[in-house]
């Protein structure tokens, strides 16, 4: 191993390699690789974790980049952690905090993943970058590609919301809507495009780039103050990268001596596409997870509909090591949670972003958590990118006649406005 403080470690067989930006898979078992940091480096830079950050790039010593001068940032990261005071279940869950990732440049935590990708692609001379996504990654990649002077191409499943396609086009991306809903088919097509045209592969999964979790693990860094004490973290999962990143960030803080206990991490998926839940419950191997496609994926939370969770093995490992769980919730539970969060806090999540709230409610109702414990909900994405999703509930409790409304309507009629 070299003296460079970063190295690569296989998440399956634990084989180690010298760091190189273009190595994606373990040569021994073909497993995905993680970027690891030597203990000496972690402890030397640990004070950075304790300071308040404005963006994730304030943690630059924990990234394999040389200096701030080579980074193009739109201010991703540094999102607020908000107390919940006006939530319908605040009386039964007394210590809930919201990590509001909708505040990122494109309204999603995916900005933490695609910003390093696009910086790395520019640094190594790529002109174009391609990804596959049902929307959030694609929008984010188009945005950060534009900032880095790259052309981006986005392979999309058939169900991608039109709002997200419009955003990609606004950033100069090239959205390519396909006739498939299978993540696996789009993974393979992205690989072919990269091989044929020498594009950078922007799929946010460690099996395509160890850079996948280097940015999103900063969510855990930003939770340092609350992770010093025991807590639960609920995060929605598609491919499993978010769960993996939270674990990775917490594990590094344990090695720094900043925290002394893992938070319990809960992965939440829609029951209509829940391969991580299946893998966790059945203790599936890495080979089984990446080879067994979840059949007939269907959910209102389209960003979570990954039939093959490429970071699923790492996510399941993280759940086991932290004493957490995988949960599956119905579409109705997700939409109910979306309404509760929007009307109870003023934070408007897309269905995928609301799944974490649905998971926490399910965990409470099933006795998986102590209601007195601190729980953190990671709201991963904004509802502004999927307005259609609110139609089933947006008129509930609106327009109900009451004395105030009757008087207002009378005023409108008298003024000739109604």
Range of the domain at 287: 81-107+213-390
pLDDT at 44: 94
Please give the backbone phi and psi of residue 145, each rounded to the nearest 5 degrees, phi first.
Answer: -65, -45
pLDDT at 406: 86
- Indicate whether 255 belongs to any domain: yes
- Indicate whether 148 belongs to any domain: no
Radius of gyration of the chain (CA): 21
Are residues 343 and 285 in contact, defined by beta-carbon separation less than 8 angstroms? Answer: no
- Indicate whether 276 belongs to any domain: yes
Burial of 263 (0-12, 13-18, 19+ CB in 10 A): buried
pLDDT at 20: 94
Are residues 137 and 155 in contact, defined by beta-carbon separation less than 8 angstroms? Answer: no
- Indicate whether 240 belongs to any domain: yes
- Indicate whether 205 belongs to any domain: no
Q: What angle do CA 356, 99, 264 make, to 5 degrees?
A: 60
pLDDT at 180: 80
Domain count within the chain: 1
Residue 255's CATH number: 3.40.50.1100
- Indicate whether 73 belongs to any domain: no
- Indicate whether 206 belongs to any domain: no
Extract the tokens encoding 398. 């609106």
- Indicate whether 45 belongs to any domain: no
Percentage of residues of the chain with pLDDT beyond 70 = 96
What is the full per-residue pLDDT of the chain (418 aa) written as tens digits? 677 999 999 999 999 999 999 998 999 999 999 999 999 999 999 999 987 778 999 999 999 998 889 999 999 999 999 998 766 655 567 789 999 999 999 999 999 999 999 999 999 999 999 999 877 999 999 999 999 999 999 999 888 888 999 999 999 999 999 888 777 788 889 999 999 999 999 999 888 889 989 999 999 999 999 998 889 999 999 999 999 999 999 999 999 999 999 999 999 999 999 999 999 999 999 999 999 889 988 999 988 988 899 999 999 999 999 999 999 999 999 999 999 999 889 999 999 999 999 999 999 999 999 988 999 999 999 999 888 888 878 766 555 567 888 888 899 999 998 7
pLDDT at 1: 60
Q: For 56-75, how does the pLDDT look when each residue is reduced to its tens digit (9 = 90+)? A: 999 999 999 988 899 999 99
Are residues 91 and 344 in contact, defined by beta-carbon separation less than 8 angstroms? Answer: no
């Amino acid at each position: 191993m070299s003296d460079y403080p970063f190295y690569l470690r296989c998440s399956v067989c634990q084989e180690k390699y010298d760091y190189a930006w273009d190595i994606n898979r373990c040569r021994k078992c073909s497993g995905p690789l993680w970027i690891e940091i030597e203990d000496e480096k972690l402890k030397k830079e640990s004070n950075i974790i304790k300071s308040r950050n404005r963006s994730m790039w304030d943690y630059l010593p924990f990234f394999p980049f040389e200096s701030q001068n080579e980074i193009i940032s739109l201010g991703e990261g540094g999102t607020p952690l908000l107390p919940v005071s006006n939530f319908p279940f605040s009386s039964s869950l007394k210590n809930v905090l919201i990590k509001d990732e909708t505040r990122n440049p494109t309204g999603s935590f995916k900005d933490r993943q695609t910003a390093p990708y696009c910086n790395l692609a520019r640094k190594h001379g790529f002109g174009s970058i391609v990804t596959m996504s049902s929307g959030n990654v694609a929008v984010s990649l188009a945005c950060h590609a534009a900032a880095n002077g790259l052309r981006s191409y986005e392979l999309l499943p058939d169900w991608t919301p039109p709002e997200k396609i419009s955003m990609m086009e606004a950033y100069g991306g090239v959205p390519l809507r396909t006739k498939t809903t299978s993540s696996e088919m789009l993974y393979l097509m992205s690989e072919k495009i990269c091989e044929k045209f020498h594009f950078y592969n922007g799929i946010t999964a460690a099996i395509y780039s160890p850079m996948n979790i280097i940015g999103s693990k900063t969510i855990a860094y930003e939770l340092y103050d609350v992770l010093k004490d025991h807590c639960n973290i609920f995060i929605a999962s598609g491919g499993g990268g978010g769960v993996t990143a939270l674990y990775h960030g917490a594990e590094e803080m344990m090695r720094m001596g900043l925290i002394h206990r893992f938070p319990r991490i809960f992965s939440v998926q829609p029951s209509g596409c829940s391969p991580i839940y299946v893998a966790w419950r059945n203790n599936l191997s890495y080979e089984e997870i990446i080879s067994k496609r979840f059949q007939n994926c269907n959910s209102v939370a389209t960003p979570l509909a990954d039939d093959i969770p490429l970071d699923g093995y790492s996510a399941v490992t993280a759940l086991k090591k932290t004493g957490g769980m995988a949960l599956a919730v119905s579409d109705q539970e997700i939409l109910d949670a979306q309404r509760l969060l929007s009307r109870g806090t003023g934070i408007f999540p897309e269905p995928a972003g609301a799944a974490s709230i649905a998971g926490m409610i399910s965990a409470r109702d099933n006795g998986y958590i102590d209601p007195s414990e601190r729980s953190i909900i990671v709201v991963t994405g904004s509802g502004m990118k999927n307005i259609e999703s609110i139609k089933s509930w947006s008129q509930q409790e609106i327009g109900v006649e009451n004395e105030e409304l009757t008087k207002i309507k009378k005023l409108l009629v008298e003024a000739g406005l109604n």
